[in-house]
Structure 1
Amino acid sequence: MTTDCPVHWVDTPIALEAMVADCLSAEVIALDTEFERSHTFFAQPCLIQLCDGKKVYLLDPIAIPDLTPLGALLAEPGITKVLHACSEDLQLLQRTVKRLPQPLFDTQLAAALAGLGNSVGYQRLVAEVLDKSLGKAETRSNWQDRPLSSAQLQYAVDDVWYLHQLYYALVKLLAAQGRTQWVLNDGAALCAEYQVTTDLTNYYRQIKQAWRLYPRELAILQALATWREQQLLARDIPRNHLLGDQLLWQIARRKPRYKAQLATIKGIKSSVIKRDGDTILNCVRQGMVIKEENLPERLPKPLPPSSKRYVKKGKQWLAVKAEALQIPVEVLMPKKPFQAIIRSGLYDNVFRWSMDEDNWRYHCFGQELVAYLNEIKQGLVS
């Protein structure tokens, strides 16, 4: 190993319990995962690495199917969990451990808020901040193999050993700018948003063109999408191996009553109709009988042409602010909340802040941005 630290291989339930007990005394835990994804819906966990700054633990989820004891560590509020570009890690941990790591410090986000650039890769960030060169050769190696090669083990250990050091280096940069809490706030928001988006009954809202559907059709789409997501969980297959999003949309739009009508929708496999046709038609019927007052509301339309002036002016204003703060504009103001601000001004006649007012963006620039857009609307700014 290039790192001079004790390394513990954790491959029994007793060893897992001991690891959790040891780590609960830490202030900061660096965490990473290695996984395989091929013809399955879920990423298959192959290795979970943790570092408390003194030791590295290599947790073998292949040998320990029940990882729920790790949840006590992930949920401990007094321990900061450090990950890098963590969206896939969150998905894996939510499914296998049933918990998300909180408080969460994402080093990729931290680098952006510290002025080091947007979406900086881990190896590059370690090189720039810690002056250490890490190899990439094992990134796409087969992590399901046992035993792991010495090169894989070195890669796995280095990953979290330097991630732990990276945390303290980034905190020093952020503290000098008063931005450390910004990273933790965004980490909490990411976990909260992830919990909403993983609610199976909400998936229909993510389907492209769903905004075109009327409430009755949306009710059908919701029933179909909820059933489809449940089946993916049970069968562990990719979405397109059952029914892709656009096929669900077509079914909701056309409302078939019989298998023969279902078969006329281009792209639906005959094997799917044979196995799941009755259930699919039942989802359609389920959406058709919902009372009017219980139907889902129509989803927001894309911004209309009348928004172009406000979008352009708002983006120009944000670009100036981002340059002044040395923060990538994509991080300063994410796309969805920006569009929500624009939409509020078009339909409510007053531009309103779209995120929680506890969010650091509101106090940093949000009030100024909304005031500027309202001045444009009132003709006070050309």
Structure 2
Amino acid sequence: MSADPQSRDVEGTDTEGTDVEGTDAEGTDVEGTDDAAPAAVPLTAPRDGLPPVIDTSTALVKYADALAAGSGPVAVDAERASGYRYGQRAYLVQLRREGAGTGLVDPVPLPDLSVVQAAIADTEWVLHAANQDLPSLAEIGLVPARLFDTELAARLAGLPRVGLGAVVESLLGYSLEKGHSAADWSTRPLPEDWLVYAALDVEVLVDLRDALAQILAEQGKTEWARQEFEAILAAGPPAPKADPWRRTSGMHGLRSRRQLGMLRSLWQTRDELARRRDVAPGRVLPDAAMVSAVQADPTTENALLELPVFRGRANRKLVSTWFGALARGRALPETELPLHSRPGDGPPPVNRWADRDPAAAARLKAARASLAELSTRWSVPVENVLSPDLVRRLMWTPPSPATPEAVAEVLRAGGARPWQVELTCDLLTEAIAAG
């Protein structure tokens, strides 16, 4: 940050909710050591004061003009109401650019932010963990053409902790204390301390970007980062997940296709209720309750009410709805029951490889060992060196013949960036040969 650390304080949060007080960047207690780094300076107030929330078209146009006249990258963040509302809608958008200051935009009365998009369309946007915010930003017309993701940059730079608070403390010397990242941002009016937290998240981003860009340049990873950022932009909004009910927590305890059919029916009913009410599905009925209901397989509504979660007043009112969903799943013909896995889901679980295909298991073991060594050598998490899912698919069904060119083609087709292909192609080809 450019401001004198003694001239202001700020309160915020590490996006991972990690308490950083009294620790170094790796979370090690440093109190009482002779060579301990200076204590991080707590940030408790925006350097320019807390700006008013922008909730009128007039104020939005004025701020968009300021953004257009500003200079340098623009820091962008969004706050959602995950765990409270249905979907991932943005309930506050924060922006900051040199010369324009910080803007806190309320997208509830201003659902179309195209005037902001026009002002910063050609500017580099700086976000932390961009994949989390880009979909909700796209819904309100904000789509970057250039990107710098500070969380991803921190991973490539080999930082041990990559939450916003941890990286800010490590590189800038400021502490962002636990804040309101998990709050219900659909609340209106938004409390002032929440707005302070939100303003501080964008206040540090451009300085953080500059510090990380310098580290990446020193490590020879600038091009890696550029390719990663471009891949995020090229991917666009994520496609709707196929069979999202399969993500139900605890469903691994369901063994039969009939049980899967009942769970799917219950999940679909819950999802429709949650959508209509604009409530997070887990607040309508927890995943654990759905799995328990399927396992209990109640034959009457009264039997369903005997299960702990269904005894509550809200679910007693909906008992006919839940029981009806279970009954529909129970009555499905065999041909309509879901399979245990979708066609095209990829290889089986790794713990079954040794029995089903020992050679594939040997290939995967060799590949993982080589990738782990590469990860250590370059100080990049192994999952960022190459997608673990892509590695599994390649080792389960390698090309034939497994030449370096053929392996490289599989990697490119699977979404690997050029730097990843160059770094891993030969060692993966060797791993295939070893199996």
The answer to whether the superposition gives a TM-score over 0.5 is yes
Question: Take 1:269 and 1:120, find their aligned partners in 2: how far apart are those partners?
Answer: 42
Structure 1 partner of 2:128? 84
Match for 1:108 among 151, 161, 165? 151
Residue 123 of structure 2 corresponds to residue 70 of structure 1 = no
Matched AA of 2:377: A
Letter in 1 for 2:126: V
| Amino acid aligned to 2:159 | G
Correspondence for 1:196 among 240, 244, 249: 240
Distance 1:71 1:173, change over 3 A: farther
- Cα gap change, 1:371/1:211 in structure 2, threshold over 3 Å: closer, same or farther? farther
Aligned residue for 1:207, secondary structure, equals: coil
Per-residue CA deviations over 1:319-348 (Å, capped at 9, x if unaligned) read 111123331223223444444445547xx9
- Structure having greater relative contact order (Cα 8 Å, sep ≥ 6): 2
1:139 to 176, 179, 189: 179
Cα drift, residue 124 of structure 1: 4.4
Q: Which amino acid aligns with 1:107?
A: T
Residues 244, 337 of structure 1: CA spacing in aligned structure 2 closer, same or farther, 3 A cutoff? farther
- Candidates 348, 355, 376, aligned match of 1:323: 376
Q: Which residue of 2 aligns with 1:298?
A: 340
- Does residue 227 (structure 1) correspond to residue 269 (structure 2)? The answer is yes
- For 1:147 and 1:217, the matched residues in 2 are separated by 45
Q: Which of 401, 409, 416 in structure 2 is aligned with 1:359?
A: 416
One-letter amino acid matched to 2:432: N
2:148–2:229 Cα contact (<8 Å) kept: yes
Structure 2 partner of 1:372: 430
C-alpha separation in 2, matches of 1:371 and 1:332: 16
Residue 139 of structure 1 aligns with an amino acid whose one-letter code is G
CA distance in 2, matches of 1:80, 1:294: 49
Match for residue 332 of structure 1? 385
Is contact 1:109–1:119 with CA below 8 Å preserved after alignment?
no
Distance 1:222 1:127, change over 3 A: same
In structure 2, the CA distance between the partners of 1:250 and 1:6, relative to structure 1 (3 Å rule), is closer
Matches within 5 A, 1:4-153: 9=52, 10-20=54-64, 22-23=66-67, 28-33=73-78, 47-61=92-106, 65-70=108-113, 73=116, 78-86=122-130, 89=133, 93=137, 97=140, 104-113=147-156, 115-126=157-168, 128-129=170-171, 132-137=172-177, 139-140=179-180, 148=192, 153=196
- Note closer, same or farther for the CA distance 1:156–1:238 as it changes in structure 2 (3 Å cut): closer
Q: 1:205 to 1:38 in 2, by over 3 A?
A: closer
* 2:305 maps to 1:258: no
SS of residue matched to 1:69: coil
Alignment root-mean-square deviation, CA: 4.6
**2:247 maps to which of 165, 182, 205:** 205
Give the letter for the 1:133 counterpart. G
Tell me the CA shift for residue 292 of structure 1: 5.9
Structure 1 residues 295, 183: closer, same or farther in 2, change over 3 A? Answer: same
Asked whether the equivalents of residues 47 and 59 of structure 1 are also in contact (C-alpha less than 8 Å), the reply is yes
Q: Is the 8 A contact 1:30 1:163 kept in 2?
A: yes
Aligned mates of 2:412, 2:252 — CA distance in 1 = 23
Distance 1:280 1:53, change over 3 A: same
Contact 2:168/2:175 (8 A) holds in 1: no
- TM-score relative to the length of structure 2: 0.64
Contact 1:221/1:252 (8 A) holds in 2? yes
Shift of 1:19: 3.1
SS of alignment partner, residue 232 of structure 2: helix
**Alpha-carbon offset, residue 135 of structure 1:** 3.6
CA deviation after TM superposition for structure 1 residue 192, in Å: 4.1
CA distance in 2, matches of 1:355, 1:276: 49
| Residues 1:242 and 2:295 are matched in the alignment | no
Deviations 1:232-258, CA, capped at 9 Å, x for gaps = 344455555432223323444565553
Contact 1:5 1:54 in 2 (8 A): no
Q: C-alpha separation between the residues in 1 aligned to 2:67 and 2:336?
A: 47
3-state SS in 1 of match to 2:250: coil
Superposition deviation, residue 106 in structure 1: 1.9
**CA shift digits 1:97-145 (9 cap, x unpaired):** 48676655320111221x242432334434554xx43242473599977
Q: Distance in 2 between matches of 1:211 and 1:344?
A: 29
- What SS does the corresponding residue of 2:270 show, helix, strand or coil? helix
Instruction: Calculate the TM-score normalised by the size of structure 1.
Output: 0.72
Aligned residues: 364
Counterpart amino acid of 1:304?
Answer: N
Match of 2:319 among 277, 289, 299: 277
Amino acid at match of 2:416: N
Specify whether residues 163 and 317 from structure 1 end up closer, same or farther in structure 2 by C-alpha distance, changes over 3 A only: same
